[in-house]
Amino acid sequence: MIHYDYGLFVIGAGSGGVRAARLASAQGVKVALAEERYLGGTCVNVGCVPKKLLVYASRFRDEFDASAGFGWTVGKSTFNWTSLIANKNKEIERLHVVYNNLLQNSGVSIITGKAQVLDAHNVAVKGKEFSAQRILIATGGWPFVPDIPGKQHIVTSNDMFFLEQLPKRIIIVGGGYIAVEFAGILNGLGVETTICHRGHKLLSGFDGDLCDFLAHEMTKKGIKFLFNTDIEAVVSSGDTFDVQLSDDSKISTDLVMFATGRTPNSTGFGLEELGVELDSERAIKVNSDYQTNVTSVYALGDVTNRVNLTPVAIAEGVALVNKLYTNQSRPVDYDNIPTAVFSQPPIGTVGLTETKAREKYPDIDIYMTRFTPMKNTLSDQDEKTLMKMVVVRSTDQVVGIHMVGTDAPEIIQGMAVAIRAGATKAVFDSTIGIHPTAAEEFVTLHGTMP
């Protein structure tokens, strides 16, 4: 029998890699985990966690304004970006300690440095070689910036969490969830914000009514949109930048952020030299068991570019360990995965969009409502809520639920359970609502849309 230093060598300490490492170690496997940057990966360091903290910070201005309608008198308020970032950093450092302790207490060996895959069973980190029965690549993704003149002046979402000071004006390029989330954050903190998007609609792949509704609500908050427009060059002009647009016009701004997607972080690890297959977008190609064409090498999470969500990477890590070490095949179900966009107002969605549902079923009914949330009746704020339900008429099954509005992500988590359980519209209709809440609208929706 061949002796290996480790049964499993994990490259990448993001959510998926950490979960797989811990669970495998709990099964008695000797596990090492190599990470060159920071424990927790994108989500903990430059993604979900710090972004949500910044979203919270950006909402306070509206809350202060709203309080007057409820009898409060709030004195002059000021905002300190440096203080927010310092507190954010302190929280991330706390999470680093948590991750470190979880791994060490699980018996996982943490190796700091960039790993290089030498062959099917050997990895090197900082000149030291390790052998492993299996190698797992969980290196995530990285922001993509096109190669345009002035690229060196452009920042990405990674950089936004470490800005020394807020700009007075910013142009955000892109129309995906990162673009709209940072637009809401910066606008809420008083930055003059413009989104420049080469498409004609936000959030490709989301339900069209949600996208239109969100753009309308964001416009009401003062965010500007330049649709069907691309940036061709960024020119430094003293302390500002001149941005050349595809229609030959120019805009002056203090900062240019690109949120034009993320690419799989698959290069520089020796995978191509080993012969591991990558697709046209450089994502690692895997089978249903997360195995590459090199049988001892596995990959999961964003580096495979399938469903790029933290909980999905975690679920894939669990599924892989179950398959390899517990003889229990529990594959991840990629249907009906709920997701949220922490825009302002936020989006929560699960199941099929109206367009996808009509492609799959011949008989679709749409139930939809727009309304002013109860809180806004006294606050005199103009933000509204949209709720939408997609139902197959012949079976009465609910196949999609979508919401834009306060607490949408929290509400949709419960709706996701109902959809996975196969709830029908009749089940929703027979469920007693919690009053007064926005969520009760989902059990009182009546009248189909034409």
Q: Which residues are catalytic?
A: 435
Cα four-point dihedral sign 313, 317, 320, 326: negative
Do strands 6-11 and 128-137 pair parallel, antiparallel, or not at all (unpaired)?
parallel
Q: Which of 342, 289, 253 has its CA nearest to residue 56?
A: 342
CA dihedral 349, 354, 360, 363 (to 10 degrees): 130
Distance CA 122, CA 14 (A): 21
Give the whole-angstrom CA distance, residue 337 versus residue 310: 12
Query: Cα separations (Å) of 114 from 160, 253, 256?
Result: 24, 37, 30
Compute the C-alpha angle 230/163/341, nearest 5°.
60
The number of CA neighbours under 13 Å toward the Cβ of 404 is 24
How far from 434 is each of 5, 373, 400, 402, CA to CA, in Å? 57, 15, 21, 19
Q: Of 262, 396, 417, nearest to 337 (Cα)?
A: 417
Beta pairing partners, 155: 257
CA angle 275, 277, 279 (to 5 degrees): 150
On whether the CB atoms of residues 25 and 49 are closer than 8 A, the answer is no
Q: What's the CA gap between 209 and 327, in Å, rounded?
A: 44
Q: How far apart are CA 412 and CA 280, in angstroms?
A: 34
Return phi, psi of residue 172, to 5°.
Answer: -105, 125
Distance of alpha carbon 233 from alpha carbon 243, whole angstroms: 6
Q: Which of 121, 104, 99 minimizes the C-alpha distance to 49?
A: 99
What contacts 128, CB < 8 A, 6 or more positions away? none
